[in-house]
Structure 1
Amino acid sequence: MINPKSFFKSIPTEVKRFLGKALLFFIVWKVVYNIFLYDSKYLDHPLTTHVGNASAWLINQLGDMEGFTAKREVVKHYFEGGVNLNESSAIYHHDRIVLYIANVCNGLELIVLYIGFIVCMPASFLRKLKYIVIGVIILDLTNILRCTGLIYLREYYEIYFDFAHHYLFNTVVYTATFIMWYVFSRKITLKTKHIEKTVQAG
């Protein structure tokens, strides 16, 4: 049976430091978001509107498809006898609603997690800045492509919509995130006492 105390001591110091920073970053983000930014006009609303407008524009450029527009709308959700009002980016095909892009689908949470990983890893400021800027752009474009695909499936191949929404497209987005994390971290060398002792012993 593994001794938790011994296992914790065996973890390299740099790894412990990274995990501690990551946990702190996650807690601070959740507190700030839930208290000050939840359903706010500062982050979610502009980002959701941007994703909706970009997705509608993109699908209008594909082949002979046209007539897709995005509008900011308040959507009612009934839950446990109460009514919740949430603003979404509504996608219309001519005058018929096709899809609602809610704030939880705008990619903000994933972008923040990506940035948090980069910030907590040991690297130069310029390298972190470069990967944050490029990564945010890639994640935003990936999410726009995901939403465009969902619009297309909802309108023309609805039988595949649920599978793509819950599994396929989410897998693509998370895979893109992990690939960027891997590319960023592969040149980082963790200099720990454990590694130095191993080198000296050799």
Structure 2
Amino acid sequence: MINIKNLLQDIPKPIRLFLGKALLLFVVWKILYVGFLLDSKILDYPLTTHVGEASAELLNRFSSMSGFESVREVKTSIYEGERITEETSMIYHNNKPVLYIADVCNGLELIVLYIGFIVCMPSSFFRKLLYIVLGAILLDVVNIGRCIGLIYLREYFEYYFDFAHKYLFKITIYAFTFLLWMLYARKINLNNESVQVE
């Protein structure tokens, strides 16, 4: 039989502190999000709109394609036998729908996960603030790039769209997030819960 108390004692104290902070932060975020923010769309609405508009604008300005437009629409779909109605950012190319961006695709959960890791790791306030601001901006840019890539695939290589949407771009975004975490953690010494002096 596994002795939980001995197992916990085998984990170094700094790791236990980090995991405890991360778990607490996760629970608090989920309570806030599901209890107050999800229905109000106070975070999701502007972020989903921004991702759609930025994707269409970048394609119109910097690609050989033009005629993209992002419109807020109510979309009804069936997921696992259940009818779901949600407001999305629908991207049209010459009045043909090519991509819809739902709230779950706006990158909010990933940005919050990234910020939670930074907050839980020991470091100076200004270093945390720098990595939070720059990381959130970079993750937003990468998510917009993901949407542009999906639109490009939908237009030219539709056969690969589902694979890229379900696997390739998710792996890419999570790998990028992990890289940002690694950059942040490279100068942290968990044994002393302080930043190493160079």
Q: Give the TM-score, by structure 1 length.
A: 0.89
- Matched to 2:175, the amino acid is T
State yes or no: 1:47 paired with 2:58. no
C-alpha displacement at 1:82, in angstroms?
5.8
Q: Which runs of 5+ in 2 are unaligned?
A: 193-198
Q: Which runs of 5+ in 1 are unaligned?
A: 193-202
1:2-35 deviation line (CA, Å, top 9, x unaligned): 7543231121111101100000100111111011
User: Who is 1:30 aligned against?
Assistant: 30
- Structure 1 residues 74-89: aligned runs within 5 Å: 74-78=74-78, 83-89=83-89
Distance 2:145 2:61 in 1: 13
Cα 1:79/1:183, change in 2 over 3 Å? closer
1:122-164 deviation line (CA, Å, top 9, x unaligned): 1111110000000001000000000000011112210010111
State yes or no: 1:70 paired with 2:81. no
SS of residue paired to 2:134: helix
State yes or no: 1:179 paired with 2:179. yes
State yes or no: 1:140 paired with 2:133. no
SS of residue paired to 1:69: strand
1:60-108 deviation line (CA, Å, top 9, x unaligned): 2344210011000011124577643200000001111111110000000
User: Who is 2:17 aligned against?
Assistant: 17
Distance 1:79 1:160 in 2: 21
C-alpha displacement at 1:56, in angstroms?
0.7
8 Å CA contact retained: 1:37, 1:43: yes
- Matched to 2:40, the amino acid is S
Distance 2:154 2:80 in 1: 28
User: Who is 1:109 aligned against?
Assistant: 109
SS of residue paired to 2:40: coil
C-alpha displacement at 1:39, in angstroms?
4.2
Distance 1:63 1:143 in 2: 17
Distance 1:139 1:164 in 2: 18
Which structure's CA Rg is the greater one? 1
- Matched to 1:131, the amino acid is Y
User: Who is 2:118 aligned against?
Assistant: 118
Pairs aligned (count): 192
Distance 1:40 1:148 in 2: 28
8 Å CA contact retained: 1:39, 1:103: no
